[in-house]
């Protein structure tokens, strides 16, 4: 009913708008007064976490994209090797696991059969399983050794939005917590990022306030067949997520690429007026990557692409090459997906509406996939 949708036309719109609160709620009570993380609810002892020699993340779809981003954070802040695998592929390749492997299963619903089967397989090999889940008491957390709940509240739209942002928050918390417990050389950075994370809901809110031009752009592209998405580093999974949203909602051919791969094939797809969304890494921090992506934008534009550039406020290097420029607030490099994903959600939702598609219930899809 209209009341359930809180005045929005679709649950998806409501859920996109709820993201600042969902993010804040997922952080609530998990950062103490001294600015350290307290994750006692993760009932795997600090001693056990210090023994972990490998992290393996399993998930599907959007949750898998959260896992891809988690890998960058976990390896950077903890120096523990981390693999991310589609849950549906995991157990069939006889993965190498033992009691020192920490397996993280990410699932909004907690009922996804592929993810459940992957975690059962991990536990059979003696690994500890930590669930990141949005649904209290669902099967995946019940069968895991520990759970860190995301507090997105119920997500009704089939296309995942607020659950994704909170999965990212939970992944950052786990990565930072592992770093904190194990005491890496990144101690100061970890403390600074925890501070930034506690402010990030405000940044998500600011993105939401500036989305009208994105909606307008989406409407103007309603007649297109294909949209490509490019990103690098944590922007690569964001590109994949943007493409997945567009497939699900707009039924368009959408593909995400690591921008560095362009020259290895995908650049052949570029033609006159093809919309290409580029997620630009922060010019601070890893500025080498930033410069490389700016060259990519130049290359595809020289071949006729219509460039839709998502870049940090104050990043002027991209301006001459952007046919459409979407600004996002500056964040620490690893946290950028929390703000960069939002315009892509809005873009896909508006394109679906413009194409007359059912936003909350896309064809052929179910909210949780309880078959393998
Ligand atoms: C996201 O928009 C999708 N509908 C889908 O990829 C989803 O993320 C995936 O099926 C995993 O679901 P889960 O998080 O409930 O396990």
47-104 pLDDT per residue, tens:
999 999 999 999 999 999 999 999 999 999 999 999 999 999 999 999 999 999 999 9
What does the alpha-carbon distance between residue 355 and residue 315 come to, in Å, rounded to a whole number? 33
Pocket test for ligand 1, best of 15, 87, 160 (most atoms within 8 A of CB): 160
Low-confidence stretches of the chain (pLDDT < 70) are 285-286
Rounded to 5 degrees, φ, ψ at 336 are -55, -35
List CB contacts of 33: < 8 A, sequence separation 6 or more.
none
* Predicted local confidence at residue 285, as pLDDT: 65
Nearest CA, atom 16, ligand 1: 107
Place of tokens 């103007």: 220
* pLDDT single digits (tens) 114-153: 999 999 999 999 999 999 999 999 999 999 999 999 999 9
User: In 321-338, which positions are buried (b, 16+ CB within 10 angstroms) versus exposed (e)?
Assistant: bbebbbbbbbbbbbbbbb
Which of 118, 114, 57 has the alpha carbon at shortest distance from 83?
57
Burial (CB < 10 A; 0-12, 13-18, 19+), residue 8, is middle
Is position 367 annotated as part of the catalytic site? yes
**CB 61 near ligand 1, within 6 Å:** yes
**CB 369 near ligand 1, within 6 Å:** yes
Distance 278 CA to ligand 1 centre (A): 24
* Predicted local confidence at residue 342, as pLDDT: 98
What does the alpha-carbon distance between residue 77 and residue 186 come to, in Å, rounded to a whole number? 6
Q: Helix (H) and strand (E) counts for the chain?
A: 13, 10
Distance 132 CA to ligand 1 centre (A): 13
Are 149 and 47 in contact, with CB atoms under 8 Å apart? no
Which of 4, 41, 12 has the alpha carbon at shortest distance from 26?
41
> Is the complex ipTM more than 0.90?
yes
* Predicted local confidence at residue 121, as pLDDT: 97
């Amino acid at each position: 009913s209209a009341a359930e949708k809180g005045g929005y036309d679709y649950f998806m719109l409501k859920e996109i708008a709820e993201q600042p609160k969902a993010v804040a709620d997922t952080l609530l009570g998990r950062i103490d007064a001294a600015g350290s993380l307290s994750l006692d609810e993760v009932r795997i002892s600090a001693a056990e976490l210090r023994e972990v020699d490998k992290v393996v993340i399993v998930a599907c779809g959007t949750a898998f994209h959260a896992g891809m981003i988690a890998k960058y954070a976990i390896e950077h802040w903890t120096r523990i090797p981390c693999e991310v695998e589609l849950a549906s592929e995991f157990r069939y390749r006889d993965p190498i696991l033992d009691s020192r492997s920490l397996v993280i299963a990410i699932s909004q619903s907690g009922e996804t059969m592929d993810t459940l089967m992957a975690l059962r397989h991990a536990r059979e090999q003696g690994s500890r399983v930590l669930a990141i889940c949005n649904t209290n008491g669902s099967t995946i957390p019940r069968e895991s050794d520990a759970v860190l709940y995301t507090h997105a509240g119920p997500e009704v739209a089939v296309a995942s939005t607020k659950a994704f942002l909170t999965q990212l928050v939970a992944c950052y918390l786990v990565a930072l917590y592992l770093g904190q417990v194990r005491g890496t050389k990144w101690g100061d950075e970890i403390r600074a990022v925890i501070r930034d994370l506690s402010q990030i809901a405000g940044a998500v809110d600011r993105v939401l306030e500036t989305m009208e031009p994105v909606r307008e752009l989406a409407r103007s592209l309603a007649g297109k067949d294909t949209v490509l998405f490019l990103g690098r580093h944590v922007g690569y999974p964001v590109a994949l997520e943007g493409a997945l949203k567009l497939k699900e909602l707009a039924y368009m051919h959408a593909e995400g690429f690591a921008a560095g791969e362009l020259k290895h094939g995908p650049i052949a797809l570029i033609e006159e007026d093809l919309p290409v969304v580029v997620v630009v890494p922060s010019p601070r921090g890893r500025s080498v990557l930033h410069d490389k992506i700016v060259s990519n934008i130049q290359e595809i534009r020289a071949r006729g692409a219509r460039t839709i550039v998502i870049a940090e406020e104050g990043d002027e290097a991209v301006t001459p090459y952007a046919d459409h420029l979407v600004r996002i607030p500056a964040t620490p490099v690893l946290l950028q997906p929390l703000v960069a994903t939002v315009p892509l959600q809005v873009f896909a939702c508006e394109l679906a509406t413009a194409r007359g598609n059912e936003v909350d219930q896309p064809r052929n899809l179910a909210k949780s996939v309880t078959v393998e």
